[in-house]
Amino acid sequence: MTLKFRTVLMALLVSTGLAAIKLVVGIASSSIAVLASALDSFTDACSMAINLVAVRSAEKPADEGHQYGHAKAEPIAALFQAAFIAVSAGYLIYRAFRRMIAGYELTNEIAAIIVIVVALAASVFLAMRMKRIAQCTSSAALEACALNYGADVWTNAGVLVALGLERWAHISNADPIISILISIYIVVSAVRIGHKSISQLMDRSLPREMLDTVDRCVASHAPMAKGYHRLRSRQVGSEKEIEFHLEVDKNASFEEAHNVTEAIVSDIQRAIPGSTVTIHSDPV
């Protein structure tokens, strides 16, 4: 199993366990905030299951039917994850408003607080690990997971505040109000995930800093390399694709033009990990 696959599998197991524990404690304590957190963990588990399939699919090599590989499985999974998270958060907002209108009474708050503290620690660990591995692998799916677990940190912290205000400060409606605020934060995170996934599916060009790297790599081989044109780039999952026409001194031999082209390809691939570079040489 690859590092990405192992990480997603671990997150799936943790999220499933947390969802089950929160559900039991949420029902026992009658806390809508704890139940909101349980639903959030359940959506995490569902998302991780989708990502598990996506990561495995994205890592398959290109074949006759998919000659550009399967990397788009990751942004597709991230887009589904964003939609699922947003719908779940909307439902939580609806439930919280109903709770405020109908009234409620919390019980077993101490047990709920203990469970949420454990969940908070787990969310911090998973968010940090996912973010680190997402940066190392340029994985859209893992970046979505990192954002999701980052939102979980605030979710669980908010639940702790709500339970504390209800039990010790005796502030009414703190539980549903904080649940609504948490849900709004989750919706914002889902929109960010969805926007980035759609950008990849629409073949948005690489960030300006990466394109500047291409500039520097070509310029470092002057005067043989005169410049370039028709630059095109995109990122799909963890793969980055760059292609352009290289302007080569017309007096260079075929071998010299080939060597400078290969050198520039190597330089770009070293500077931009996970990149595939295609260059067409034009005499100038």
Q: How confident is the model at residue 40 (pLDDT cuts 50, 70, 90)?
A: confident
Q: What is the 3-state secondary structure (H, E, C) of the chain?
A: CCHHHHHHHHHHHHHHHHHHHHHHHHHHHCCHHHHHHHHHHHHHHHHHHHHHHHHHHHCCCCCCCCCCCCCCHHHHHHHHHHHHHHHHHHHHHHHHHHHHHHCCCCCCHHHHHHHHHHHHHHHHHHHHHHHHHHHHHCCHHHHHHHHHHHHHHHHHHHHHHHHHHHHHHCCCCHHHHHHHHHHHHHHHHHHHHHHHHHHHHCCCCCCHHHHHHHHHHHHCCCCCEEEEEEEEEEEECCEEEEEEEEEECCCCCHHHHHHHHHHHHHHHHHHCCCEEEEEEEEEC
> pLDDT above 90 covers what percent of the chain?
24
**pLDDT, greater one: 30 or 256:** 256
User: Could you count the other beta carbons within 10 Å of the beta carbon of residue 133?
Assistant: 19
Cα 88 to Cα 114: distance, rounded to the nearest angstrom: 24
Per-residue pLDDT, 237: 65
Contacts with 101 (C-beta within 8 Å, 6 or more apart), sequence order = none
Indicate whether 278 pLDDT > 80: yes
Averaged pLDDT, 92-107:
78
Per-residue pLDDT, 279: 96
> pLDDT above 70 covers what percent of the chain?
96
Per-residue pLDDT, 244: 97
Per-residue pLDDT, 212: 95
Per-residue pLDDT, 218: 96
**pLDDT, greater one: 69 or 214:** 214
**pLDDT, greater one: 232 or 97:** 232
Indicate whether 1 pLDDT > 70: no
Per-residue pLDDT, 238: 67
Q: Domains of the chain (ranges plus CATH)? A: 3-201 (1.20.1510.10), 208-283 (3.30.70.1350)
Q: Judging by DSSP bridges, how do beta strands 225-236 and 275-283 pair with one another?
A: unpaired
pLDDT tens sequence across 236-245? 766 789 999 9
